[in-house]
Amino acid sequence: MSCWNTCNGKYSMRIKCLCLILAFGSIATVNCLAQSSMMQQYNLPALYNDDGDDFIIIAHRGASAYYPENTMIAFEKAVEMGAEMIELDVMMSKDGIPIVFHDAKLNKHTNGNSYVKHYTLKELKKLDAGSWFNPKFSDQEIPTLEEALQFASGNIALNIEIKTEAVSNQIKNGIEEKVLQLVKKYGMEKHVLFSSFDYRAVRHLKKLDPNVAVALLYERNQSNRLLPHQLVKKYNVDAFNCSYRQLKRKWMANLNKHNIPTFIYTVDSKRRMQKLIAGGVTGIFTNKPDLLKSVVQSYHLNSTTD
């Protein structure tokens, strides 16, 4: 994004500040600087392929409407379709290796049985992770996070979701520490947004490195009816992620009021995409990054010509 901290309005904060300065002189200058300073608390990742429109196209588990989710081919095709970020899920193998997989159990998206945590990496690598989607993808394996980072480094930003099943109360040698070490190994720390439904993982990540970008994935039972801005402040995070089904008008108003970066999942409807973009969200997770890209381009073209 050309200005990450201005994602909740049609015009950037820079333009707003300039207008105020011209109109009201030094008083406006002070106000604008204060507001900009306040907004810089949100540390979001840089994009490798930023198109400058202050909106992020996020491929949900890759281009997963067309390819088996969380596989290398889904990630590769997402880049080809114009995604600016890829969302992927991280679990842990029996022998403590971070792997890219969504479900706790293997049977739905591989030819394996039982739970991911019962398989070593060597055993997981023998599984077919593509035929469930289409037999022509039988060559697809479960990727390790390291393999995904090797592909993404210098290529595309990531949203790494740490699955609740992999989280424990332990920070030392926990999933968060292992993931963070790999991210730094590949120089991706400024290009990754971490997230989790488990608020322990959120706290662990910020404790391990306060400078990494972390989003809170809204989970009702842990939130105690707090408003989005209250949760963002409580957990010291940089963004708020939630389902489009959860995004009430009251929440959107609250997020916009506090200039909180907001990411919404999982949207494959053109009409819903248009509505969310108009509402000022920062980015959308979609299984169809090509469709979202065309919607974003059309929206900005229409905004320019209005």
DSSP for 62-77, please give it. TTTTTS-TTSHHHHHH
Which position among 60, 109, 204, 258 bears the catalytic label? 60
Write down the pTM of the prediction. 0.86
- Spell out the per-residue pLDDT of the chain, length 306, in tens: 333 433 444 334 444 444 433 443 433 333 333 333 334 479 999 999 998 899 999 999 999 999 999 999 999 999 999 999 999 999 999 999 999 999 999 999 999 999 999 999 999 999 999 999 999 999 999 999 999 999 999 999 999 999 999 999 999 999 999 999 999 999 999 999 999 999 999 999 999 999 999 999 999 999 999 999 999 999 999 999 999 999 999 999 999 999 999 999 999 999 999 999 999 999 999 999 999 999 999 997 776 565
Catalytic (active site) residue 102: yes
Task: Render pLDDT for 127-181 as a digit per residue (tens, 0 to 9).
Answer: 999 999 999 999 999 999 999 999 999 999 999 999 999 999 999 999 999 999 9
DSSP for the chain, please give it. ---GGGTTSSS-HHHHHHHHHHHHTHHHHHHHHHHHHHHTT---PPPTT--SSS-EEEEETTTTTTS-TTSHHHHHHHHHTT-SEEEEEEEE-TTS-EEE---SBSTTTSS--SBGGGS-HHHHHTS-SSTTT-GGGTT--PPBHHHHHHHHTTT-EEEEEEPGGG--S--TTSHHHHHHHHHHHTT-TTSEEEEESSHHHHHHHHHH-TTSEEEEE--HHHHTT--HHHHHHHHT-SEEEEETTT--HHHHHHHHHTT--EEEE----HHHHHHHHHHT-SEEEES-HHHHHHHHHHHHHHHHH-
Task: Render pLDDT for 250-282 as a digit per residue (tens, 0 to 9).
Answer: 999 999 999 999 999 999 999 999 999 999 999
d(CA 186, CA 92): 19
